[in-house]
Amino acid sequence: MKIAFLLLVIVHGLIHLLGFIKAVDWVQIKDFPIEVSKGSGYLWLTAALFFLIFALSYFLEWKYSWYIGLAAVLVSQVLIIMYWKEAKFGSVPNLIILILTLIAWMNTRFDAKVEKELGLLFASQTNEKAMPHASMDALPAAVQLWLKNSGASAQTGPQKVRVDQAFQLKLKPEQNDWYRGKAVQYFNPVRPGFLWYLDLNILEWVNIRARDLYLDGKGEMLIKLWSLIPMVNEKNNPKIDEGTLQRFLGEMVWFPWMAKSPYITWESVGENKAEAYIQFQGVEASGTFTFDQEGKFRQFQTERFMGGDENAKRYPWIIIAQDHAIHQGIELPTLCEASWILDDGPWKWAIIEILSVDYEGG
């Protein structure tokens, strides 16, 4: 899609350049149907330069490229109106460029929103009083083995976590093919919170941006088509608050030292299982962790609201680890599957591959 769009912009820009060349009479252009005066020729040159500069800045993914795109379309459309009889069909590429430029603008706004929320996620750390972490001896044996063998037992842990993910997603149980995208997730292990950001193409020309946020005990879910049309916008909802806290609890497997956090208490429920309880800002959640004989994390399960409307029901929500690898000295699950167990059977809705993990501030 990007290459096709760039070719459209470049060709459209070169056509405007022909108008300038004809105006200054550098060469004879017999097939150019418009008689262009020297005065308006410089408008044709301006439009051409705007389109070509826009193509370059769009290719380089400069976040303000949409300014140039809008200027190019504006100048071009003025020319088309001036020479409407001969140039009216130039409005079609202008419309296409305008739509995709507006989408680029909305992407910029979406990214700016995420950046602002990311600052808030870690700014709250400075207001958090230091609290003692649990000793290893206070944890169930299965959790102790997990922390020891993962390499996280001696850590209180870095203050920031970034996890880059390759994401496969199904938006509904009956969907056959997987949508593919990339996500980045930031965690605050000091003061429980996370921000997850997904860029997903569901068709060649159809893009979805999603952002999930857990901040100061409140959860939010936002999904937009082309960063423009809201598909999901859930916030100020106790069910979403609880669900995002449950997700934070399960995803601490990417920063295992969180198991010793003062916000989490544990109870052994079997040889290789332990129940974790987390409480933060008046919201409580729990889930069961399952490990193998070597202490590797294998599964997390909780009862989670599916959605946030008044009819939303709790269903089992399960994360299963399929593979592990070492990142920055800690063994982590690097291939996970997430499923809902619905009334009519399981729905595996996500496959998450961990591309990289970065810890900061330890």
DSSP of 220-248:
EEEEEETTTEEEEEE-S-HHHHHHHHHHH
Q: Residue 126 falls within a domain, yes or no? A: no
Residue 124 CA to residue 145 CA, distance in Å, equals: 32
Residue 30 pLDDT greater than 70, yes or no:
no
Residue 361 pLDDT greater than 80, yes or no:
no
- State whether 100 and 188 are in the same domain: no
- State whether 254 and 201 are in the same domain: yes
Task: Summarize the confidence of residues 180-208 as an average pLDDT.
Answer: 92
- State whether 65 and 149 are in the same domain: no
- Of 104, 123, 142, which marks where a domain is finished? 104
End-to-end CA distance of the chain: 42
- State whether 199 and 92 are in the same domain: no
- State whether 205 and 296 are in the same domain: yes
Confidence category of residue 32, pLDDT binned at 50, 70, 90: low
Query: Which pLDDT value is given to residue 279?
Result: 94
Residue 33 pLDDT greater than 80, yes or no:
no
Query: Which pLDDT value is given to residue 103?
Result: 86
Q: Residue 112 falls within a domain, yes or no? A: no
- State whether 33 and 173 are in the same domain: no
Query: Which pLDDT value is given to residue 240?
Result: 96
* Domains contained in the chain, number: 2
Q: What is the CATH number of the domain that holds 242?
A: 2.50.20
Q: Residue 75 falls within a domain, yes or no? A: yes
Q: Residue 54 falls within a domain, yes or no? A: yes
Task: Summarize the confidence of residues 291-316 as an average pLDDT.
Answer: 94
Q: Residue 219 falls within a domain, yes or no? A: yes
- State whether 87 and 140 are in the same domain: no
Lowest mean pLDDT among 75-84, 151-160, 190-199, 324-333: 151-160
Q: Where are the beta strands (DSSP E) in 170-282?
A: 179-188, 193-203, 206-215, 218-225, 229-234, 264-270, 273-280
Lowest mean pLDDT among 152-161, 175-184, 292-301: 152-161
Task: Summarize the confidence of residues 24-38 as an average pLDDT.
Answer: 71
Angle between the N-to-C axes of helices 2-24 and 38-59, in degrees from 0 to 180, rounded to the nearest 10: 160
- Of 104, 119, 146, which marks where a domain is finished? 104
Query: Which pLDDT value is given to residue 308?
Result: 86
Task: Label residue 332 exposed, middle or buried (CB < 10 Å: 0-12, 13-18, 19+).
Answer: buried
- State whether 69 and 215 are in the same domain: no
- State whether 66 and 164 are in the same domain: no
User: What is the DSSP secondary-structure string of 28-77?
Assistant: --TT------HHHHHHHHHHHHHHHHHHHHHHTT-TTHHHHHHHHHHHHH
- Kindly state the tokens that stand for 230: 């809201």
Q: Could you tell me what percent of the chain has a pLDDT over 90?
A: 65
CB 222 within 8 A of CB 232: yes
Q: Which amino acid is at 44?
A: W
- Kindly state the tokens that stand for 242: 């609880």
Task: Summarize the confidence of residues 198-209 as an average pLDDT.
Answer: 87
- State whether 84 and 140 are in the same domain: no
Residue 65 pLDDT greater than 70, yes or no:
yes
- State whether 140 and 253 are in the same domain: yes
Tell whether the torsion through CA atoms of 251, 255, 259 and 263 is positive or negative. negative
Smallest CA-to-CA distance from 71 within 46, 44, 106 is with 46
Q: Residue 122 falls within a domain, yes or no? A: no
Query: Which pLDDT value is given to residue 128?
Result: 55
Confidence category of residue 254, pLDDT binned at 50, 70, 90: very high
Confidence category of residue 125, pLDDT binned at 50, 70, 90: low
Q: Residue 120 falls within a domain, yes or no? A: no
Q: Residue 117 falls within a domain, yes or no? A: no
Residue 319 CA to residue 5 CA, distance in Å, equals: 39
- Of 104, 121, 150, which marks where a domain is finished? 104
- State whether 151 and 99 are in the same domain: no
Query: Which pLDDT value is given to residue 135?
Result: 79
Query: Which pLDDT value is given to residue 238?
Result: 95
Query: Which pLDDT value is given to residue 131?
Result: 56
Domain that residue 60 falls in? 2-104
